[in-house]
Every structure is written in C-alpha cells, then in structure tokens.
C-alpha cells in the first residue's frame, strides 16, 4: 500500500488529496499534517469585511477527511524530513513514514526590522489568527485608524475589505508608487489618485523608521520626517516561502523549493507546490514563485496525479494579478513590466482608464489594465486577454489590429479561436471533479447556469432577454413563412 504524506492544509494540499483519490487505486493511505485548519486564505477578506463567518473560510472538515480516507493531523507541525529513511518528524516527536511526500507549507509574512515592530497592536495580516486579532482590536470602534505598511497585492485585498467596513485607512509604501510588483508607475498613479478620492491616505516613497506607543495609539515615523497616528498597524511588507523543512533536509532550494514540471523536488519521492515552490513558467525561462491561488491549485493537482502514479506535466504557471482597489479594478499578466517598444499603451487619467499590451513576436506576453470595477466591458476584456496569453496564441495579423484597437479585444479573441482552444484545455486530460465540500454541508446558493449570468451581469440578462425576443420573432416569421407556403400549396 502506497503511503502519501502531505505537509500543509492550503489549496495545494486539498487539491492534491482530491486528485490522488480521483486518479489513485483507492488503497493508498493519505496523511495530512497541518498546523492550521484546512482553509483558503483567499476567503479571509470576506470574513474581514463581515460578509461571511470565520468557518466559511474552511475547505475541509472531519466528514470530508473521513470520506476521502485521510488521516488528518490538524493542529500539528512537521519539524523535520529524513529523505533517506523517508520519514517526517512531527513537533511532538512522533514520525510518519512516506513513499511520496508533498511539501505544501506556503509562505509566511516577511516582517519589518524597525524599532517597535513587535509592539502589541502591530501585526501582519496573513492567517486566520491574524484576521481574528485585527477584528478583536477593532471591536467597539466604528472607524479604527489603520495604517498599512507595504502596498502590495495581498495588502490591498485586505485593505479593500477594511474599506468596505468604513475604517480610516493610511498606506505607507517604501517604493515610489503603490503596487510596485503589479503595476507600472503610470497605472499606479491612477490607483493613488483614486485612493485619495476615496479618503485613503497614501505615503509613497516613504520608509518606516520606527513605531512607538503614543497617547492616542501608535505613532509611525516615516523617513521624510512625517508621522502617522494609528490604532492598529498592519505590516504587509511581503512574504517569505516556508522552505526551512526542505533546505534542512538537503532538498534543493533557491528563493523557494525548486520543482520540475511534475512538481518533483531534487529528492526522490518528494514533491512541492504552491507558495513554497519555485516552478516552471508558461512560455519558458527561469523557474519562478507565483504566490497565487491558480498556481497553488494547478500544482496540487499536478503533484497529486504524479503521486498517484500518473505522468502529468505542467505547462508552467502564468503570473496573474487581478485586484479591486476600493472599486477600481486592476489587472496585470505575464511580463507586464517589460519595457519593450513592441507595445500599445492607452492612458486616460481623468477617467482612471489605463491599458497596456506588450507583444513578443506574434504573441501577447504582458498586459496591464486599470478601470472602474463596474465597467463590464473592461472586465470581459481582462478575461479574454488572460485567455489569449494562457493559450500562447499566435495572433498573426490580429496583433496589428490590437495595437490599433486596444479596446476591441473581442474581435481578435474570436477570430484567433482562443475560446475553442481554452474549452479543449484541461490540466490533467479530464475535467476536475466537483470538490464535494460545502461549509456545514450546505448546498451552494447559486449554480452556473442561465440565472448565474443574470446574477453576475445585468447586461448579460438584458442580452439574454434580447436574444429571447429575437428567437420569438424568428419563430413567428418562420411560422408565417410556413403558412404562406401552405397557402401557396393549397392554391395549386
């Protein structure tokens, strides 16, 4: 009987478990070691915004583990790996044997090396407990003053949740502009003016020198001499992959654990995926870490299939950032920071619209979007551009068309057959199965059907209505035509 062991309880782990059961012989044992409950960090902003209870962030429970035959050691930490003996040691001293091991330990907040960073009321915002502690700190205060140090992708996801609560927000960023690893300076400038209009104060190009306790809360001192008063300080200065277990076991690491296209590490029978893994990138080039949910899901499924004895190869992950900043939608894909001249840029600062497409040869290899979150046309363009890049479509003459008409993505998308290519593409050669887990066993509140289109888009509903009217008119016309033909027949 094959013994599978997985360390970590995030999306890599749950997707690997489900894939092993989907592809495996059913006899294999699966042991999960996770210090936190199995959950999705992506769901934390919904809890922070007060939209769902804490338990809604969970992605598995005892019933789920029982059904999938998983020995779930929740609340326990792995403290060592012996690749020669093929064992994992837990913090309580016990050991678990493995034939296949998946390291899915994710990443941890990088921290801030300044005086006062360890004071109560100064905290990161990455885990279930961090979210609980922020909500507790804000309890009883309608509009707490929150200063967020670091203006990156995840920080802004959480800032958006705090904005929904109506909190009093300030952002401090050491680099010259917000979202430095997601947007170029022009696009970020639009985000900054949008934030100002929404009442969020931004200090860009300002390092934090110290944090101290003052009369009315914390005092954050900035490099230019300014100070900011806050009730809570959030340190969102980036993350560091949890590679220690792997590097101490002699497994090859760089920034993350190095994996190949099967998510295999340098050690026999040891796999890694998600935020801790530095893996192949779509389109080739050096391995990178893509700390995003889609990569974690793909890695989990690829590792799970290979652990179950299938030969599954990953084409590589695509850098994807799609972010709502207080109602302003931003997206960047692929080599968005490439300064190549083979590009088209449209900027309209007054309306907060920015669009940049970057090309290499016949393909689109980078893109940046900014626009209002209620602009449905832009949202569908974001999806189509993502598809064009994911399918590595050769655009041919449509490249020139897109450079001339960057707001008419749909025509190029349809003409180059991207939708058909996407429809045929599956990661493992067959459709993923439904997860079979819902919080509290509740049925989903909506299904992806005709009514889903109406839920997500009033415009889609209007289009469906128009199509209905058109169908009815066509049917009427056909009936009239047939009657006409019948009349003509009887006249003969």
Binding positions for ligand FAD, rule: CB under 6 A: 7-13, 33-36, 41-42, 44-45, 77-78, 104-106, 126, 154, 157-158, 242, 245, 274-276, 291-294, 296
Least separation, in Å, of the C-beta of 480 and ligand FAD? 53
Q: Give the span between the Cα atoms of 222 and 207, in whole angstroms.
A: 6
Least separation, in Å, of the C-beta of 296 and ligand FAD? 4
Q: Cβ(106)–Cβ(202) under 8 Å?
A: no
Looking at the Cβ atoms of 162 and 222, the one nearer to ligand FAD is 162
- Which tokens sit at 44? 């934390």
- Which tokens sit at 363? 């393909």
Least separation, in Å, of the C-beta of 187 and ligand FAD? 19
Please compute, for residue 91, the number of CA atoms within 13 A of its CA located in the half-sphere on the CB side: 10
Least separation, in Å, of the C-beta of 456 and ligand FAD? 17
Least separation, in Å, of the C-beta of 338 and ligand FAD? 21
Looking at the Cβ atoms of 116 and 279, the one nearer to ligand FAD is 279
Looking at the Cβ atoms of 49 and 460, the one nearer to ligand FAD is 49
Q: Cβ(419)–Cβ(391) under 8 Å?
A: no
DSSP assignment of 302-370 equals HHHHHHTT-------B--EEEEEETTEEEEEEESTT---SSEEEEEETTTTEEEEEEEETTEEEEEEEE
* Torsion sign over Cα 474, 478, 479, 480: positive
Looking at the Cβ atoms of 39 and 145, the one nearer to ligand FAD is 39
Q: Which residues are CB-neighbours of 287 under 8 A, at least 6 positions away? A: 254, 258, 259, 278, 279, 280, 281
SS3 content of the chain, % helix, strand, coil (to 5): 35, 25, 40
Q: Give the span between the Cα atoms of 28 and 21, in whole angstroms.
A: 9
Helix crossing, 11-23 with 293-307: angle to 10°?
A: 30
Looking at the Cβ atoms of 289 and 308, the one nearer to ligand FAD is 289
Looking at the Cβ atoms of 154 and 395, the one nearer to ligand FAD is 154
Looking at the Cβ atoms of 18 and 275, the one nearer to ligand FAD is 275
Cβ neighbourhood burial of 434 (10 Å; 0-12, 13-18, 19+): exposed
Residue with tokens 């100002």: 196
Least separation, in Å, of the C-beta of 81 and ligand FAD? 10
Looking at the Cβ atoms of 49 and 461, the one nearer to ligand FAD is 49
Least separation, in Å, of the C-beta of 323 and ligand FAD? 8
Least separation, in Å, of the C-beta of 297 and ligand FAD? 8
């Amino acid at each position: 009987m094959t013994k599978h062991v997985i360390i970590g309880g995030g999306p890599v782990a749950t997707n690997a478990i489900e894939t092993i059961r989907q592809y495996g012989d059913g006899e294999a044992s699966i042991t999960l070691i996770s210090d936190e409950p199995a959950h999705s960090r992506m769901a934390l902003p919904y809890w922070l915004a007060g939209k769902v209870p804490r338990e809604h962030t969970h992605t598995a429970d005892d019933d789920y583990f029982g059904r999938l035959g998983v020995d779930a050691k929740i609340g326990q930490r792995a403290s060592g790996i012996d690749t020669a003996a093929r064992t994992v040691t837990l913090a309580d001293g016990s050991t678990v044997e493995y034939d296949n091991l998946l390291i899915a330990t994710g990443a941890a907040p990088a921290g801030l090396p300044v005086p006062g960073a360890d004071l109560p009321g100064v905290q990161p915002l990455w885990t279930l407990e961090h979210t609980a502690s922020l909500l507790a700190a804000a309890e009883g205060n309608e509009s707490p003053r929150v200063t967020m140090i670091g203006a990156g992708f995840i920080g802004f996801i959480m800032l958006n949740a705090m904005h929904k609560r109506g909190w009093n927000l300030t952002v401090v960023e050491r680099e010259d502009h917000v979202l430095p690893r997601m947007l170029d300076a022009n696009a970020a400038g639009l985000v900054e003016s949008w934030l100002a209009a929404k009442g969020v104060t931004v200090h860009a190009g300002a390092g934090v020198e110290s944090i101290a306790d003052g009369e009315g809360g914390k005092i954050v001192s900035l490099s230019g001499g300014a100070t900011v008063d806050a009730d809570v300080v959030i340190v969102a200065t980036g993350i560091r992959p949890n590679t220690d277990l792997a590097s101490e076991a002699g497994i090859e690491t760089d920034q993350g654990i190095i994996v190949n296209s099967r998510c295999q590490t340098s050690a026999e029978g040891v796999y890694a995926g998600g935020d801790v893994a530095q893996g192949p990138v779509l389109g080739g080039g050096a391995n990178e870490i893509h700390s995003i949910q889609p990569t974690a899901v793909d890695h989990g499924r690829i590792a799970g299939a290979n652990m179950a004895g299938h030969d599954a190869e990953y084409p590589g992950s695509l850098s994807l950032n799609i972010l709502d900043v207080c109602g302003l939608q931003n997206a960047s894909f692929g080599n968005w920071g490439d300064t190549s001249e083979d590009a088209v840029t449209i900027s309209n600062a007054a309306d907060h619209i920015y669009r940049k497409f970057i090309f290499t040869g016949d393909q689109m290899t980078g893109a940046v979007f900014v626009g209002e979150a209620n602009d449905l046309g832009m949202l569908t363009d974001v999806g189509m551009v993502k598809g064009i890049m994911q399918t590595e479509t050769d655009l041919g003459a449509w490249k020139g068309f897109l450079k001339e008409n960057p707001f008419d993505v749909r025509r190029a998308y349809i003409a180059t057959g991207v939708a058909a290519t996407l429809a045929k593409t599956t990661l493992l050669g067959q459709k993923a199965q439904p997860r079979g887990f819902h919080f509290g066993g509740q049925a989903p509140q909506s299904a992806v059907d005709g009514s889903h289109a109406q839920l997500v888009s009033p415009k889609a509903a209007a289009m469906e209505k128009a199509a209905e009217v058109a169908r009815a008119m066509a049917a009427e016309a056909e009936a009239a035509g047939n009657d006409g033909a019948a009349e003509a027949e009887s006249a003969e």
